[in-house]
């Protein structure tokens, strides 16, 4: 594998940040404008996954090996299942405490990648990872956080979401190292999301009454989320999970904040401002360290064929 091939993850991570950053700026519109339930947004997201999935499978061979199904379903169910758990946590807990806990999911990814995949990262990259992780937490603190803290199951649910989403990135990387191509992994992820649609409908207690603009707006925003998920698979098949996960989770909210500033004239909080600086600095360190490492870092790893 050439240095250029190894660094191709930067392109896909950049596209992921672009799509998820734009999605983040508009994702709340269906709920804000029409009171659309989060569970229904999940349902529509699950079906929008079919669009990039179809495109990917047309360009890539579907891997029928059991190992592909195991890692693909693991990545899909931890991602989609974590989303449904998040809805339950938010129903009885404060968002300003839940989101900082959930935002630590890249810590899980980094620990699993270093311990189980034997990924090695240099001192510069370690500093970048730490800066990015701190930035993720700061960027997830909502404005005006405070008030009474509700009791209930939300702390355990928030931790479960954190572990689930951190594990998802690990399973994506594990699939790539097993030689599973991107299209196959994303195909199983799409199937996983669709399998949990009945659970989301059950949580809602049935389909809601809403004007046509609500599902249309939801589909328009969630397609960005779905395409971004495909770019995440592609980035993780080419780059280290211990680097890709912190970078993408730190930079996507930065773009969302910048867009919110331009569109909604919403100024970032002091915490978000510090988080932006740390996210940019930490990501720069990690990319620089990866470029500097080149072919010399670690043994050559198999690369999954892209869609």
For residue 119, the model assigns a pLDDT of 93
Cα-Cα-Cα-Cα torsion 134, 234, 220, 266, nearest 10 degrees, comes to 20
Q: Which pLDDT band, with edges at 50, 70 and 90, does 6 fall under?
A: low
Greatest mean pLDDT among 140-144, 152-156, 243-247 lies in 243-247
pLDDT at 202 over 80: yes
Question: For residues 127 and 247, what is the distance between their CA atoms, to the nearest angstrom?
Answer: 12
For residue 300, the model assigns a pLDDT of 43
In a domain, 306, yes or no: no
Mean pLDDT for the stretch of residues 198-226: 95
pLDDT above 70 covers a percentage of the chain that reads 90
In a domain, 143, yes or no: yes
In a domain, 303, yes or no: no
Q: Which pLDDT band, with edges at 50, 70 and 90, does 293 fall under?
A: low
In a domain, 236, yes or no: yes
In a domain, 305, yes or no: no
Mean pLDDT for the stretch of residues 82-97: 88
Mean pLDDT for the stretch of residues 70-93: 94
Note down the domain range covering 13.
3-296
User: Tokens representing 133?
Assistant: 């992780």
Mean pLDDT for the stretch of residues 111-123: 92
Q: Note whether 143 and 25 are within 8 A (CB).
A: no
Query: In Å, how far are 185, 186, 223, 228, 284 from 237, measured between CA atoms?
Result: 10, 11, 22, 14, 20
pLDDT digits (tens, 9 = 90+) for 230-286: 999 999 999 999 999 999 999 999 999 999 889 988 788 899 999 999 999 999 999
For the chain, the domain total comes to 1
Assign residue 237 a region (left: φ > 0; alpha: ψ between -120 and 50; beta: otherwise).
Answer: alpha
Mean pLDDT for the chain?
89
pLDDT digits (tens, 9 = 90+) for 59-80: 889 999 999 999 999 999 999 9
In a domain, 60, yes or no: yes
pLDDT digits (tens, 9 = 90+) for 16-34: 999 999 999 999 999 999 9
Q: Is the pLDDT higher at 287 or at 106?
A: 106
For residue 60, the model assigns a pLDDT of 85
Question: For residues 52 and 231, what is the distance between their CA atoms, to the nearest angstrom?
Answer: 10
Q: Which pLDDT band, with edges at 50, 70 and 90, does 299 fall under?
A: very low
In a domain, 104, yes or no: yes
């Amino acid at each position: 594998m050439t240095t250029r091939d190894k660094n191709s993850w930067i392109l896909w991570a950049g596209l992921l940040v672009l799509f998820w950053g734009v999605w983040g700026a508009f994702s709340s519109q269906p709920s804000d404008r029409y009171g659309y339930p989060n569970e229904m947004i999940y349902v529509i997201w699950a079906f929008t996954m079919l669009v990039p999935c179809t495109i990917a499978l047309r360009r890539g061979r579907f891997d029928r090996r059991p190992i592909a199904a195991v890692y693909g379903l693991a990545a899909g169910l931890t991602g989609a299942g974590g989303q449904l758990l998040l809805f339950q946590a938010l129903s009885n807990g404060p968002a300003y405490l839940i989101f900082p806990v959930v935002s630590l999911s890249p810590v899980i990814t980094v620990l699993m990648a270093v311990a189980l995949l034997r990924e090695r990262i240099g001192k510069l990259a370690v500093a970048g990872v730490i800066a990015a992780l701190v930035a993720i937490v700061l960027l997830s603190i909502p404005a005006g956080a405070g008030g009474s803290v509700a009791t209930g199951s939300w702390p355990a649910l928030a931790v479960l979401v954190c572990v689930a989403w951190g594990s998802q990135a690990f399973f994506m990387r594990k699939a790539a190292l097993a030689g599973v191509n991107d299209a196959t992994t994303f195909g199983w992820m799409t199937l996983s999301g669709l399998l949990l649609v009945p659970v989301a409908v059950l949580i809602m207690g049935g389909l809601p009454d809403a004007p046509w603009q609500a599902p249309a707006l939801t589909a328009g925003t969630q397609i960005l989320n779905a395409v971004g998920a495909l770019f995440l698979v592609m980035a993780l098949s080419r780059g280290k999970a211990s680097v890709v996960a912190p970078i993408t989770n730190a930079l996507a909210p930065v773009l969302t904040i910048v867009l919110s500033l331009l569109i909604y004239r919403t100024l970032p909080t002091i915490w978000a401002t510090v988080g932006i600086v740390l996210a940019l600095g930490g990501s720069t360190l990690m990319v620089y360290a990866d470029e500097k490492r080149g072919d010399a870092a670690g043994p050559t790893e198999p690369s999954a064929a892209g869609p």
